[in-house]
Structure 1
Amino acid sequence: MRIDSPRQTSAAHAVALAAALACFAVPASAQPNMEKLKGMKVASTDLNIPLVPQTGANADAIKANLKRIKLPPGFQISLYAVVPDARHMAVAPSTNMLFVGTRKTTVWAVTNRNSGDAATEVKSFAPSLKFSNPNGVCWTKDGVLIVAEHNRVLSFPAAEFFYEGPDVAVGEILPQGKLIPPEEESFNHGARTCRIGPDGMLYITMGQPFNVPPRDKLDLYKQWGIGGIVRMNLDGSKREVYATGVRNSVGMDFNPKDGTLWFTDNQTDGMGDDIPAGEINRATKAGQFFGYPWKQGKTRITEFGYDKDPLPANIVDPQVYTIAHAADLGMVFYTGKSFPAKYQGGIFSAQHGSWNRTKPVGAQVLFTSLKPDGTADKTEVFAEGWLDDTGLYRGRPVDVAVAKDGSLLISDDFAGAIYRVTYTAP
């Protein structure tokens, strides 16, 4: 009798899942390679995928810039990987690797083959597919990688095992044009993020494309969850709008202790350097409204006369107010054990830095502790120095993720890098 290893069993389950996903109807406009891969067919001829160089002048310059970064005592930062345009990260469940989204056309597979202090290999994932703004990446509990693009959501069973070649098993949770109406596609605020909730459903943040949405768009956006968060089953069914009143969230995570969903929000431009405040929010149930476009932070929105309206009832105020126009993006609850007790169970969040300010701010990582009741306590700067004294951005943090060993990973789409923060008791 043959007994498969757990890894073989997992892979076999993933292949079966991919075959099931392939049965969904596909629009006639689907990419030819998508059709082949859904049918478990070969779509490529060259099995060699070029690697991103991890040494040389560029890597040395990034390492030199890290000497400017200030951290609390006992913490160290190093270059983990050179990853062009690195945005949101998804740490693989079973192997020492992660997948990294971008706002361009590539998802990166980052592998650490020797379990050392830095990645050993970076290459594009599923290059036989054509991605479009594949910013959002996340994992299901059984090892399926989800990629949330601007207007499509894909699934890749056992991606951490099948990533070596250009052709991978793939399914469409939502085909192209089904996440938002195609006529609402925009170059602005199109980067999605995703998470799997405690309920097993897929959650996706949906930024709205305007600086401030016109009144004639509000009903449509509420219907689709644009300017909010939607959730659905992993086959795309039972889609519903989970939260509304959000301008452009590009980061969220579930608190593993109580299952509440926390998310960042980006501020309205053109209102001055110091307003509106940035936000980190907490959703405790479906259907909550977070105030936009009538209110953001503590500020009433003046465009289209929203400040003249009475405030809608039942606005859920932010848990954390951050400095205006620092561009709060990715966030994660720290579930590791290698950092001091102070940080365990708290939130790390990345500030990208905004264009809409006369004096630049941001380009740092924050830490927020929680009270015993699960609400936010204090927020402080954890890592800073990517914005130098001359106002020059030497890096722009996008996302944070907890590695298997408890270290903290930070992505930077400006420098094209992922950093690793570790702790050694002083």
Structure 2
Amino acid sequence: MPTPRFTASATRPAVLLVACLLALGGCAESARLTVTDGTGPNPTLPTPAKTLIPTVNIAPAKGWPAGGSPVAPAGLRVTALAIGLDHPRWLMVLPNGDVLVAESNAPPKPEGSGGIMAWVMGQVMKRAGAGVPSANRITLLRDANGDGVAETRSVLLRDLRSPFGMALIGERLYVANADAVVSYPYKTGDTVITAPATELVQLPAGVNHHWTKNLLASADGSKLYVSVGSNSNVGERGMQAEVGRAAIWEVDVKTGAHRIYGSGLRNPVGMAWDASGKALWTVVNERDELGSDLVPDYLTSVKDGGFYGWPYSYYGQTVDVRVQPPRPDLVASAIKPDYALGPHTGSLGLASSSGNALGAPFASGMFVGQHGSWNRRPHSGYKVIFVPFQGGQPSGQPVDVLTGFLSAQGDALGRPVGVAVDTRGALLVADDVGNVIWRVSAQP
């Protein structure tokens, strides 16, 4: 595959230095953009906005004031399952009701990697509350008395490598570190695992433009699906740096043999099976530096062998002219995503509505945790939404499930990431700025 050449002016060090200074000062965007919703099966795609410098508009991480919490719709209530965690990113509910939380952050960058752009992003991440060392652990929460508050907290696994996705198959617990999928023996009720890890398959690591790796087990437990984000915005490091990336892998649990299941997915994170258990769905973070209203993040089913455009095109056959040389052959095969979630929403968490007890409006569809924008005016995301399904496909407008993560002053009181439905039908939400696991349940 030819190596793309990234020609945007943002690669020039002098321009990037200006971007650094303006990012810290909260500069206004240099071009007037048309605000568009960018949601649904057929989103409006405006003309790319060409600006001298990339838009940077991060909501500074403040955390919740005493007694503060997100806001749920009428008929639902919000409580804290656990507080005082260390950057909780991802969730998994075990069959016995225990909840696993990956407390994690990005791994250290390789020596000398990234240059000025890495410095810019480092400043952005610090303001977003992500510039802290990774706790590198998985914590187990147990609410034995069913009051919605975990009275037991135990470090199940420690000394991991930026862990994220988790999956249980039989009596093996699988964990996706930033650089490999590993497994451990697990028995129902375990609160600590001391056995050494068994490596199943290595994963692309290195510079780690996108470091999170997620896991989803097949219904029969024979396969693991692993999401691997790109190593760049639009291939500016060359496609050799993208081998195995911007893709979902299918991994044989017995042998570790793997293949690319779906590709051209810039940064797929959350994955879930639909109600039938047959269609794999994912949420994808799309590319940057085309303006505040491009490109919509999206929710889509993933076809075996399907290609979804990155980096050569977006939302089907819309060509990204920054990538040179072009690949019209690949663009022609690009599959249009099923449902747009809005530009720069940071849609990360994904959970099927199956088993939830929140009431009829949430009977069929997907919950999505939107971490929030860092490069859009106005802010987008910073909430949990529900995408209703009909006939196995998204239908209608998204419904807000949790809001209030942004203050009136534009500060981030919290930022939602992973979402999961617990064994009693409540929705759990990992908040990596508030360091809380929120629990959304129906009012008695």
Q: Structure 1 pair 304/291, CA: closer, same or farther in 2 (3 Å)?
A: closer
Structure 2 residue 413 is the aligned partner of structure 1 residue 394: yes
Correspondent of 2:176 among 128, 134, 148: 148
Letter in structure 2 aligned against 1:383: L
In structure 2, what is the equivalent of residue 134 of structure 1?
163
Q: Structure 1 pair 61/354, CA: closer, same or farther in 2 (3 Å)?
A: closer
Q: Structure 1 pair 325/95, CA: closer, same or farther in 2 (3 Å)?
A: closer
In structure 2, what is the equivalent of residue 347 of structure 1?
366
Confirm or deny: 8 A CA contact 1:144 1:156 kept in the other structure: yes
Confirm or deny: 8 A CA contact 2:80 2:149 kept in the other structure: yes
Matched position secondary structure for 1:313: helix
In structure 1, what is the equivalent of residue 310 of structure 2?
292
In structure 2, what is the equivalent of residue 338 of structure 1?
357
CA distance in 2, matches of 1:115, 1:87: 23
In structure 2, what is the equivalent of residue 211 of structure 1?
233
CA distance in 1, matches of 2:325, 2:360: 44
Matched position secondary structure for 1:161: coil
Structure 2 residue 213 is the aligned partner of structure 1 residue 192: yes
Aligned-pair distance for 1:159? Answer: 5.5
Q: CA RMSD in A?
A: 2.3
Percent of residue pairs bearing the same amino acid type: 25
Equivalences for residues 375-386 of structure 1 within 5 A: 375-378=393-396, 379-386=398-405
CA distance in 1, matches of 2:231, 2:425: 36
5+ residue gaps, structure 1: 1-59
Letter in structure 2 aligned against 1:64: G
Aligned-pair distance for 1:278? Answer: 1.2
CA distance in 1, matches of 2:103, 2:246: 21
Aligned residues: 349
Matched position secondary structure for 1:342: helix
Aligned-pair distance for 1:126? Answer: 2.5
Q: Structure 1 pair 424/313, CA: closer, same or farther in 2 (3 Å)?
A: same
Confirm or deny: 8 A CA contact 1:126 1:163 kept in the other structure: no
In structure 1, what is the equivalent of residue 26 of structure 2?
none
The alignment's TM-score, normalised by the length of structure 1, stands at 0.76
Letter in structure 1 aligned against 2:285: N
Q: Structure 1 pair 335/287, CA: closer, same or farther in 2 (3 Å)?
A: same
Deviations 1:35-91 (A, max 9, x none): xxxxxxxxxxxxxxxxxxxxxxxxx9566221xx33222011111112221111110
CA distance in 1, matches of 2:146, 2:305: 43
Letter in structure 1 aligned against 2:228: M
In structure 1, what is the equivalent of residue 190 of structure 2?
162
Q: Structure 1 pair 293/169, CA: closer, same or farther in 2 (3 Å)?
A: same
5+ residue gaps, structure 2: 1-62, 106-133
Confirm or deny: 8 A CA contact 2:183 2:198 kept in the other structure: yes
Q: Which moved more, 1:374-383 or 1:390-399?
A: 374-383
- Higher relative contact order (Cα pairs below 8 Å, separated by 6+ residues): 2
Letter in structure 2 aligned against 1:84: D
Aligned-pair distance for 1:382? Answer: 2.1
Equivalences for residues 24-423 of structure 1 within 5 A: 61=64, 64-66=67-69, 69-82=70-83, 83-103=85-105, 104=134, 105-127=136-158, 130-140=159-169, 142-158=170-186, 160-164=188-192, 167-168=194-195, 170-174=197-201, 178-180=202-204, 185-200=206-221, 201-214=223-236, 216-217=238-239, 221=242, 224=244, 226-283=245-302, 285-297=303-315, 299-305=318-324, 309=328, 312-372=331-391, 374-378=392-396, 379-423=398-442
Confirm or deny: 8 A CA contact 2:356 2:427 kept in the other structure: no
Deviations 1:190-210 (A, max 9, x none): 111111023531000000111
Matched position secondary structure for 2:401: strand
Structure having the larger proportion of residues in strand = 2
Structure having the larger proportion of residues in helix = 1
